[in-house]
Amino acid sequence: MKKRAAPTRWHKLDNTANIFPVVASRRYSNVFRLTAVMREAVDPALLQQALEQTLPYFAAFNVRLRHGLFWNYLETNRATPQVLPEQDAPCRYIDPVETGRFLFRVLYYGSRVHLETFHVLTDGTGAMQFLKAVCYRYCQLAHPDAFTPEQLATPYGTETAGEVQDGYLKHYVPAKSKTFREPGAYHLRGEHRIAGGLGVATALMPVDALKAECRRFGATVGEYLTAAIAYGVYEEYTACNGAKRPVSIFVPVNLRPIFGTETSLNFFSNLTIILPLALWGSFAPLAAAVGYWLAVWYADRQLGGMSGDVSGFALTLGELWGLAVLTLVR
């Protein structure tokens, strides 16, 4: 599986990516991590081969950041990225000098493969596709007998021209500006890590049991976990300290299913979910309220501001319940 090197090309940063080169620093890296856990210890040599053989199929990752006179842009990178053992804190600032000008790094530790990505390249969905492709090729190299000759000759995925389009520009439709003043939210307090380092909290749970619990509340997995985080904040901080401000959670939302696009660049928006104190006391109203906020947000994005397909949009029972709850407490 070998792809000829593509000619050097460049493209502008997408609408979201423009901000990241400006604000990124060693203290605020704008780097996120995805991890794949293998069933055996990772072979660094095979992982290096998998990365080199996969990268040419993902033009959005095979780039370096260049600084023009008036704007930043991304250009094809001819260097070879290197996989590295994990030795530092997660989501560390990506220094282009250390990475051969690439804006991502692939790390390994034991049976884990980490992909850390500077947000200027893509969002979580785009990075997940790249990580899947690298791991798929790694498995082909490590266990070729488990694949057919056709599978060995076929990459996990390749980008099309449409997948490197700026989804924001393609789907944006000017609309009247809307203003909304958010109430002051409760601020978490805690101890800062040394030198602004990050830590990782890992939790394992059976997927089937999680989905069954979500169905019990009429919520999606995302809605349920968001509500669970909010309830944890309430129990740990708000209830103990007697805080009177609402809990506010900033949730990224993938725009691809709304607008029917598979772009590998950034294509997400953010939703601030505000949960007033009147909802506290049990978990169910929180799950419903989160679903309601997401439903209203989806509808607003589909019916105004951007042109999208509304055929797949529907309110669940939990979301309708959340609407009733919020209406009663206002």
Each residue's pLDDT tens digit, 259-303: 777 778 888 777 777 776 666 666 776 676 676 666 665 555 544
Q: Which helix (H) or strand (E) holds 138?
A: helix 124-142
User: Which of these, 271, 306, 303, lies nearest to 289 by C-alpha position?
Assistant: 271
Joined together, the tokens standing for residue 176 give 């009247």
Average pLDDT of every residue of the chain: 76
Q: Does position 88 have pLDDT exceeding 60, yes or no?
A: yes
Mean pLDDT of 134-148: 93
- Report residue 13's pLDDT band, with 50, 70 and 90 as the boundaries: confident
Give the Cα separation of 230 and 227 in Å (integer).
Answer: 5
Q: What is the pLDDT of residue 202?
A: 78
* Portions of the chain given CATH number 3.30.559.10: 10-159
Q: What is the pLDDT of residue 61?
A: 93
Give the Cα separation of 105 and 33 in Å (integer).
Answer: 10
Among 1-15, 32-46, 297-311, name the most confident range.
32-46
Higher pLDDT pick, 294 / 220:
220
DSSP letters for 217-238: HT--HHHHHHHHHHHHHIIIII
Give the Cα separation of 225 and 17 in Å (integer).
Answer: 27
10-159 in CATH: which number? 3.30.559.10
Q: Does position 225 have pLDDT exceeding 70, yes or no?
A: yes
Q: What is the pLDDT of residue 99?
A: 92
Q: What is the pLDDT of residue 164?
A: 61
54: three-class secondary structure by DSSP? helix
Mean pLDDT of 118-140: 92
- Report residue 194's pLDDT band, with 50, 70 and 90 as the boundaries: low
CB-based contacts of 205, cutoff 8 Å, min separation 6:
none
Q: Does position 59 have pLDDT exceeding 70, yes or no?
A: yes
Global pTM reads 0.75
Give the Cα separation of 308 and 226 in Å (integer).
Answer: 25
Q: Does position 322 have pLDDT exceeding 70, yes or no?
A: no
Q: What is the pLDDT of residue 306?
A: 42
Q: What is the pLDDT of residue 296?
A: 61
